[in-house]
Amino acid sequence: MPISLRSRWAFLPLVLALGAISLYFLRLSINREAQPLPEGTHNAPDHDAPKVPVYKDIHREIAPPLPEYFPLAARAQSSSDLPPVPSWNKPPDPHVPEQTRLYIGFTRFWPLLQQVVVSYITAGWPPEDIYVVENTGTMDANKRGLLTIQNPFYLDYNRLTKILGVNIITTPSLQTFAQLQNLYLSEAINNNLTYYFWSHMDVAVHSHEDREPFKSLYMRAVDVIRETQSPDYLRNDEGVQQKWGIQFFAYDWLSMVNVETFASLGGWDTMVGYYGTDCDMYSRLSMNNVAQPVQDAGMIYDVTTSLEDLEVLYRRRPATPKNKEEETAAESAEKRDDDDDTHDPKEASSSSSSSPPTTLTQEDTLNSTNYHSLATTLTAIQQAKRTDSERNSWQKRQNGGQGEPYYYDPDGFEKALQMTIEVGARVNEEKWGHKGCDIRAAGVREGDQWRVEHDWTFD
């Protein structure tokens, strides 16, 4: 059937529309081909161009080498090359009947770990009862001596175990603070302990030498154990006995934990990895009417740096010769030391690392001028930390270790840590519907976890 002229005109709009669409896509294709290619890829098709990341402008200053804060231990071949623990702090022999296991966690900055270990030993804590928990995430690298001292995760395995005589437990991977606390609890359960002690690594301790009757920090801690074991401990006039969960010595810089109580509350909340997890744990103890007594065993300082020479903690002073023979021996020893200083530096270093020191010393006296000088120095270090706007800056003083096993970029580690801390804090806020550590002030009770609205939305 033939199409009339009028019918043919009816198709004209459709033809024009198809033509316009075709012109649009043709122009779009021409414009896309006309765009310049990225620099260095003019001869390559767009889809073959390699992706080039844009790098951050990072200017990292290499930290200066760490000094040796315990030269005597560096030269020692065994524990017998170290001075004895001050006689007034010497732990009982045989060991007290109470178990006195002390856990000290470590992740970064070896000088502070060494200092806290030496300070506990010289304050009377038996080395065999001290357990350093190596939480570096570097597997057995420290045990095999594969890390250098500029690596943030370095520790001297040989010095801790062979010279200082303490124990080391290595975590299988990097743990958060809360996970580390549950590791202590698990270790205690597996070793049938009813209580244990734990300490922060960024502290230094010593006994109260200016108090009478004198007792070492260690023996005062033992007294606390014996106090808690009394049948009438925390029993009121009505005969009701309150449970205890933790004994605080200078907050939790040093603490004694009741294994049964902590386990009954489920341990630490590992979803709150760092800051805020202590607020959660201690608040839950309070909600369950569990006592958290404050005790005093000795001086405990919150520090950021190490004493210049840890030998000062052994409380030795230059020997006073009693007769001509001893005076001659002392002069000979000093002359040998002076002669060593005039030798080739490499020879002197080799000699000092293979032989014990020759300087003659004698024990200081209880509550001496040297004791008060030590206390003044540690107080100044603590005060400096309190006034520092970044109180944990010590955690970033090492940035070496490139090319060593399990290397992790130090700046990246710090940034990732801070992000993890922030997430944990937000989790704790959601858990209790409250910001800050004063969780009980929000009126919440045990069982209110994850059930209450944000209280800050009503301010």
> For residue range 233-285, what is the model confidence (pLDDT) as tens digits?
999 999 999 999 999 999 999 999 999 999 999 999 999 999 999 999 999 99
The separation between CA 345 and the C-alpha centre of its own chain, rounded to angstroms, equals: 35
Beta bridge partners of 102: 130, 197
What pLDDT band is residue 17 in, cutting at 50, 70 and 90? low
Q: How far apart are the C-alpha atoms of 17 and 428, rounded to whole Å? A: 62
pLDDT at position 327 is 57
Q: What percent of the chain has pLDDT over 70?
A: 79
Tokens at 166, concatenated: 């303490």
Q: Nearest 5 degrees, angle CA 114-CA 404-CA 160?
A: 20
What's the pLDDT score for residue 65?
Answer: 84
Residue 29 has pLDDT above 80, yes or no: no
- Per residue in 306-322, pLDDT tens? 999 999 999 999 887 66
Q: What's the pLDDT at 314? A: 98
Tell me the two tokens of residue 429.
């806020």
* Average pLDDT of the chain to the nearest whole number: 87
The three-point CA angle 198-202-206 to 5° equals: 75
pLDDT digits (tens, 9 = 90+) for 73-118: 999 999 999 999 999 999 999 999 999 999 999 999 999 999 999 9
Please report which confidence band the pLDDT of residue 49 belongs to, taking 50, 70 and 90 as the band edges: confident
Q: Per the structure block, which two tokens stand in for 68?
A: 């040796």
Give the pLDDT of residue 346: 39
| pLDDT for the residue numbered 399 | 81
Look at the chain and count its residues: 459
- The mean per-residue pLDDT over the stretch 56-83 comes to 90
- Mean pLDDT throughout 381-393? 79
